[in-house]
Chain A
Amino acid sequence: QVNLLQSGAALVKPGASVKLSCKASGYTFTDYYIHWVKQSHGKSLEWIGYINPNSGYTNYNEKFKSKATLTVDKSTNTAYMELSRLTSEDSATYYCTRDYPGPFAYWGQGTLVTVSS
């Protein structure tokens, strides 16, 4: 069965960076894009972007182009998202998710990022 296992909660200082991981199992990793979604506390969902694990091609929401960097490691079936120059506005739960069948058909459990000094 498809499973997306995300890294644990992170507490980071303002101005720092953090790298989140999403380990995929139960399917061929390179067959489907991995998307990342942000959910601020009590708020709706925002699409950050996606990466094609096969080619490394990325596509970002304009809002997150200077904030997020998506990468993959095909040897470990793991997708990563690095968030840079963190502020309190970046405190949120971040999800990785996979398409098919249907958009965002499978979701990781989410990673809570707290930005605080």
Chain B
Amino acid sequence: DIQMTQSPASLSASLEEIVTITCQASQDIGNWLSWYQQKPGKSPQLLIYGATSLADGVPSRFSGSRSGTQYSLKISRLQVEDIGIYYCLQAYSANTFGAGTKLELK
């Protein structure tokens, strides 16, 4: 099974700050990596797919990148509405999610 190691588990950041969350895949998954945001009591929402493609309607301050088997989600200028839990997903083989990153305001 492919394991996704997501870090950090929690993160406290200030408004307008740059935030980066990473996922490390246990093996090569190519660009089969997506990022999701989940707000309390809501369903997850797709932010990034194919490692770097922005989903429809997602603000351009969100971006995704890849370096080998490490994937990153960057929020360029943190806004209040970005608070929530972020998950990565590998869809290369038998879809596996990361453990999640809880993003809070400092």
Q: Footprint of B on A, CB under 8 Å?
A: 35, 44-47, 61-62, 95, 101-105, 107-110
Contacts and interface: CB of A to CB of B under 8 A. Distances in A.
A102 B49 contact: yes
Given A101-B55, A102-B53, A109-B43, A44 B99 contact: yes
Contact of A102 (B55, B87, B100): B55
A53 to B, nearest CB: 18
A104 B34 contact: yes
A103 B89 contact: yes
Nearest to B35: A102
Majority secondary structure, B binding face: loop
B84 interface: no
A46 B97 contact: yes
A35, A45, A46, A61: which has the most chain B beta carbons within 10 Å? A45
| Chain A binding surface SS class | loop
Interface residues of B, number: 22
Nearest to B32: A103
A108 B45 CA distance: 11
Nearest to A102: B49
A103 B43 contact: no
B54 to A, nearest CB: 10
Contact of B96 (A47, A95, A105, A108): A47
A26 B44 CA distance: 19
Contacts of A108: 43
A103 B56 contact: no
Given A44-B97, A46-B97, A104 B44 contact: yes
Contacts of A110: 43
10 contacts: A44-B100, A47-B94, A62-B94, A95-B44, A102-B46, A102-B49, A102-B55, A104-B34, A107-B44, A109-B43
Given A44-B87, A101-B56, A102-B53, A107 B45 contact: yes
A103 B50 CA distance: 9
Contacts of A102: 34, 46, 49-50, 53, 55
A82 to B, nearest CB: 20
